[in-house]
Structure 1
């Protein structure tokens, strides 16, 4: 949390005043004064040498110490700057008439990671006579001391983290940063800064790598030329399935709202969108809607359902520029809303950057130099409260955060692994991407991937089926998406600790339903599901209603069944010639006659529901099959190893389904 050195303007005001009246110089050595005057107008590269010559002639020359301290501060050489500020105090303690020398030294000691010294010098400000200390200086002293004490405690309680270089498949001698990854952790896209024949000597392009083995990444390849242009592209964010990409492009140096071939924007940096169909990325377009403005928009992060986008907007220019985190929402037509600024407990008057919304949708990571931290930009975590507001940010601690700038954090869907960019020693060169095991207390809600293949049950040809994933407990639609138009594949993120109902539909086909339980979180590899779709013209095709539920040994429909039954009603209402038979089945446990009666009662309950909704009774039949048509025989069940597996098999035999009898 080292903010801009605003206080220094108060401290060094007397130097400018002295420049208009040479008689007021503290030095009486004419040659030293002459050297000082020469240094003030000399080229920057020569100033320090000339000032050192002046100080060699007069070690107590206040103005020379003052100016050389400023120069070292501007160069980031804070240790040397502090030396000369301490000399100012030694020569003339009264010069610190308003405590600004103390706060300046404290700021630089903090930037150097000398937190004990930062506490010492902020104490000097806090204990200074109040009438002479400006409110801004006193406020800075309290805030800086809070961060310094936090930093001391954070280092004393350092987290056990060992960053590991992700390897030569991704990292090179050039800079690699801003990684983004699919929810299954198998595809990583990132920004690489490569040499280029332009005025900057480099450009930013996207590269992509696939995981070939655990933590072994294949050699990264460049994205196609309709994505990578001769200008800069950066800060990508992928949808969970890796099929949608939002990224940032900045206008050409000519400043004519030109962002490269086919790309037009609103000025400065804008967010763009592209989609992968089959193996081809379509030409990117400016993000539809109202999220982009004439300001600088960058560093986007997509939610797992693709409907919410967090990003950073910078307003103002130069020293006055401020960057904050915003959020925008996509409507049913694919347009993004006017962005909303996140609240004051997230955004500060300083810089918030590198935002990441985790696939759980409840955990936000971001970088900031405005919250209490160890120096520079630190990485923070905020959790969403039950009322939908964001909780106060938590600093991720040391050594994730240090006295330097940290950003570009990426956390895997399961929350176990985090990635970041660093130029630390021992890498491939420049900024490299590293990973480490995320401490338990900093992890988001565990989120697993759910993938599958939608296809015609008769031909096995892929279908771009539309699917919904519904939280059975509260009937909340968690995910709405479509399978790939070419491959029929889908991949989404699902938070654990829920039971889900899957419904897949496509025109001309009976809808597919399935339920699965992710409350235990035991499946570390996610869930895969093949989705066969039966054409409505396929007579005698049987479709199981997996999300129709009854109480134990009862024929009363539970309310969790209504979503699925409403979909069946809609299918029948839209296909008026369709006729079906509803069948009820039980397992073999219990009395056969009772099972027969139970299965018939449950089939009739579904029949009655549809008739009550308005489906003509002559289009429907119902029949109870009891225990006569098990999906898994008792002999097969007896061979299963565990009671849990056996109970799951019995559950498959207890089912409600319908048969097309058109």
Structure 2
């Protein structure tokens, strides 16, 4: 749900141990006003306390204890600049001020973004104080002051644009999430309560709203409606890159395990299913919130204060083993989580760049936005602060980066908005961008009837033999969207238990945000005599018949297909381009076909179901005049000869 700044109720004046003994000149009425103010502060009536203390100042403006209590009241009402001014005035009036006053003043200056002033007060505290339990915290805040001073000198480019009245209103709008093609946005709206609002004491209710992007213009928003929206508070959502799943947070529901739980809903044919609780072991009797799903369609990052957390609130991850079944969550560890709070995880569609909010890592003073990269050994890089003015001395809420990595969406109540929190976007500085991701989008259909099919769709990084995208086409419409990470050699496999699988390869050597998405419908064929499957991800060493290791992923898919269809007999055909002598190409194609034949046998496919043949350069499927055409002609085909 919406992240709020929480001020722990510690009566600051109770730890100061500053004498209440009044000078002879101080009037009894001042003492009485101060005593009343203390009672109001204890009862959380801060506004009343402020009025009483301001009256006391009019009677005696040189009495330092009034400023301390007034600073406390301003602190609790988040008026940091006023609080800092009061603590500093108290320091001036005391001959020998308690060192902790310097820390109180510095804390409020840090919250206000007055880093130089805060640094001086922290340094005075460190010079005078012997409280070891506070020194470590102050030393950490000194680092934040120094970071803030440098960040202000070196701002990143940020020119926020309000998304306008189709998205924003006089209410609060925040936590925008988009599909990978940026055609749909779902976000949280905090609206006034209505007659159906279940929360008895809530003046507002959180619901999901959506908008469709048509010709680069966001259309008028609409409530997502039932069954996802209910009379409870729904928020802190994420939509899967392909738009098929919505994961979100629901609080204080009768079906819940704790104060807030994670739920999921699936879109089928344009309609959302009834939300289902993640259940154990993900949800506990604690607080689980703010999910974000990776492009592999399985890994879900979320926020929790569950047992085993390093700090007050940590980022965890779980895997969806099968639809609606989740693994035991794993803490992301001390590289990401601190003894303080980490919130609002967002895993980019590149699957490796994690953005999150933290007040534990060194930042601008409040909760800042950081990013870290998942390394090859599955550890995280050191988090990097996104800099000023993306981060400020205030608390940042979250950030969402589009798939190609160029545009960031966030929420702010800055002046000039339509009211409350509004959703903005800005173009992201290049050094802050994740790895760009493009996508393939289309429909899966039966090649004979044109009927939509629900097919399994996987993108596999051939260099790492790792699934980077996993999804299904819609069973009603056949629509699908699969993310493709630039800078990788990617296998695309689209499979259905009753059809020949479809194979393609995307070798996106350059890491770039300039690539156009691939729009393509896939026609799957039923296995029958004479049908041919081109194996686009079978590779050989140059001028040799030795299989490259990248080939094993697709060959194993072929093994699975033949095992599932154990009556089929197939021919393995080897083909070359026209470069080199014809006899040489004929021999090479035969040897390559034989290599595939031997691999399949080694994986348990019976030899009597297989034959192999070399066709050399005789049957091109593209022009040999271009490198692209020649690459298409160098291929391995599987042809059904008996079913």
Alignment partner of 1:660 is 2:643: no
**Structure 1 residues 479, 112: closer, same or farther in 2, change over 3 A?**
closer
8 Å CA contact 1:422, 1:432 repeated in 2: yes
**Structure 1 residues 571, 362: closer, same or farther in 2, change over 3 A?**
closer
Partner in structure 2 of residue 133 of structure 1? 130
Alignment partner of 1:113 is 2:113: yes
CA distances 1:232-267 after superposition (whole Å, capped 9, x unpaired):
11011111211011101112xxxxx42xxxxx1213
Show the 5 A alignment for 1:303-382: 303-314=294-305, 322-332=312-322, 334-382=324-372
CA distances 1:334-359 after superposition (whole Å, capped 9, x unpaired):
42123233323322232221111122
Pairwise CA RMSD of aligned residues?
A: 2.6
Bigger-Rg structure (1/2): 1
Alignment partner of 1:223 is 2:220: no
Alignment partner of 1:647 is 2:617: no
CA distances 1:388-419 after superposition (whole Å, capped 9, x unpaired):
12222211110001111112210112221111
Partner in structure 1 of residue 172 of structure 2? 175
Q: Does the residue aligned with 1:345 lie in a helix, a strand or coil?
A: coil
CA distance in 2, matches of 1:91, 1:599: 93
Alignment partner of 1:239 is 2:207: no
**Structure 1 residues 619, 339: closer, same or farther in 2, change over 3 A?**
closer
8 Å CA contact 2:351, 2:468 repeated in 1: no
Show the 5 A alignment for 1:426-437: 426-437=416-427
Partner in structure 2 of residue 643 of structure 1? none
Q: Does the residue aligned with 2:257 lie in a helix, a strand or coil?
A: coil
Partner in structure 2 of residue 275 of structure 1? 266
Q: Does the residue aligned with 2:102 lie in a helix, a strand or coil?
A: helix
Q: Does the residue aligned with 1:102 lie in a helix, a strand or coil?
A: helix
**Structure 1 residues 243, 67: closer, same or farther in 2, change over 3 A?**
same
CA distance in 2, matches of 1:25, 1:59: 13
Per the TM alignment, residue 8 of structure 1 is displaced from its structure 2 partner at its CA by 7.1
Per the TM alignment, residue 176 of structure 1 is displaced from its structure 2 partner at its CA by 0.8
**Structure 1 residues 598, 62: closer, same or farther in 2, change over 3 A?**
closer
Partner in structure 1 of residue 87 of structure 2? 85
Q: Does the residue aligned with 1:330 lie in a helix, a strand or coil?
A: strand
Per the TM alignment, residue 552 of structure 1 is displaced from its structure 2 partner at its CA by 3.0
Alignment partner of 1:388 is 2:378: yes
8 Å CA contact 2:457, 2:482 repeated in 1: no
CA distance in 1, matches of 2:52, 2:280: 57
Show the 5 A alignment for 1:564-583: 564-583=554-573
Q: Which moved more, 1:322-331 or 1:116-125?
A: 322-331
User: Structure 2: which 5+ residue stretches go unaligned?
Assistant: none
8 Å CA contact 1:8, 1:104 repeated in 2: no
CA distance in 2, matches of 1:366, 1:341: 14
**Structure 1 residues 304, 289: closer, same or farther in 2, change over 3 A?**
farther
Show the 5 A alignment for 1:191-202: 191-197=188-194, 198=197, 199-202=201-204
Partner in structure 1 of residue 57 of structure 2? 55
CA distance in 2, matches of 1:168, 1:610: 60
**Structure 1 residues 375, 625: closer, same or farther in 2, change over 3 A?**
same
Per the TM alignment, residue 146 of structure 1 is displaced from its structure 2 partner at its CA by 1.4
TM-score computed with the length of structure 1 as normaliser: 0.88
Q: 2:12 aligns with which of 3, 9, 12?
A: 9
Q: Which moved more, 1:430-439 or 1:522-531?
A: 522-531
8 Å CA contact 1:27, 1:33 repeated in 2: no
Show the 5 A alignment for 1:401-412: 401-412=391-402
User: Structure 1: which 5+ residue stretches go unaligned?
Assistant: 252-256, 259-263, 638-645
Q: 1:415 aligns with which of 394, 399, 405?
A: 405
Alignment partner of 1:124 is 2:115: no
8 Å CA contact 1:311, 1:327 repeated in 2: yes
Alignment partner of 1:165 is 2:166: no
**Structure 1 residues 133, 550: closer, same or farther in 2, change over 3 A?**
closer
Partner in structure 2 of residue 640 of structure 1? none
8 Å CA contact 1:325, 1:341 repeated in 2: yes
CA distance in 2, matches of 1:295, 1:651: 56
**Structure 1 residues 628, 179: closer, same or farther in 2, change over 3 A?**
same
TM-score computed with the length of structure 2 as normaliser: 0.90
8 Å CA contact 1:27, 1:62 repeated in 2: no
CA distance in 2, matches of 1:224, 1:89: 56
Per the TM alignment, residue 553 of structure 1 is displaced from its structure 2 partner at its CA by 3.0
CA distance in 2, matches of 1:543, 1:481: 22
Partner in structure 2 of residue 292 of structure 1? 283
